[in-house]
Homo-oligomer: A and B are copies of this chain.
Amino acid sequence: MQKPILFEKPIYLLSHASAVGGEEKKGPLGECFDFCDPSGRFGAKTWELAESELSRITLSLAMKKAGISHRDPDLLLAGDLQNQCVASSRAHACLGIPYLGLYGACSTSAEGLYIGASLLSASNTLHLAAVVTTSHFCAAERQFRLPLEYGGQRPPTAQWTATAGGAFLITDQIPDRPCAKIMGGMIGIPIDSGILDASNMGAAMAPAAAHTILSFFEKSRFSPSDFDFIVTGDLGYEGSEIMKGILCDNSFPLLTNHLDCGTLLYNPEIQDVHAGGSGCGCSASVLSAHFLPMLEKGAARRILFLATGALMSPSAILQGQSIVGTAPLVIFEGEETFH
Residues of A bordering B, CB below 8 Å: 1-5, 7-8, 46, 48-49, 71-75, 79, 81-86, 89-90, 92-94, 96-105, 111, 115, 118-119, 121-126, 143, 186-192, 311-316, 319, 321, 324, 326, 328
Sample of 26 A–B contacts (CB below 8 Å): A1-B72, A1-B74, A2-B98, A3-B74, A5-B123, A48-B316, A82-B316, A83-B83, A86-B311, A86-B312, A89-B311, A89-B324, A90-B311, A90-B316, A93-B190, A93-B191, A98-B188, A98-B189, A99-B187, A99-B189, A101-B104, A101-B111, A118-B119, A118-B122, A121-B123, A122-B122
In the assembled complex, the Cα of A207 lies from the Cα of B119 at a distance in Å of 26
Q: How many copies of this chain does the complex contain? A: 2
| A102 and B101 in contact, given A125-B5, A311-B89 (Cβ under 8 angstroms) | yes
Q: Check A111–B118 contact: CB distance below 8 A.
A: no
In the assembled complex, the Cα of A242 lies from the Cα of B189 at a distance in Å of 42
Cβ–Cβ < 8 Å partners of A96 in chain B: 2, 189
In the assembled complex, the Cα of A247 lies from the Cα of B173 at a distance in Å of 36
In the assembled complex, the Cα of A192 lies from the Cα of B46 at a distance in Å of 19
Residue in contact with A98 in the complex, picked from B71, B74, B186, CB distance below 8 Å = B186
The residue of chain B having its C-beta at the shortest distance from the C-beta of A80 within the complex is B103
Cβ–Cβ < 8 Å partners of A124 in chain B: 8
Cβ–Cβ < 8 Å partners of A100 in chain B: 102, 104, 111, 115, 187, 328
Cβ–Cβ < 8 Å partners of A119 in chain B: 115, 118-119, 122
**Which residue, A8, A49, A90, has most C-beta atoms of chain B within 10 A?**
A90
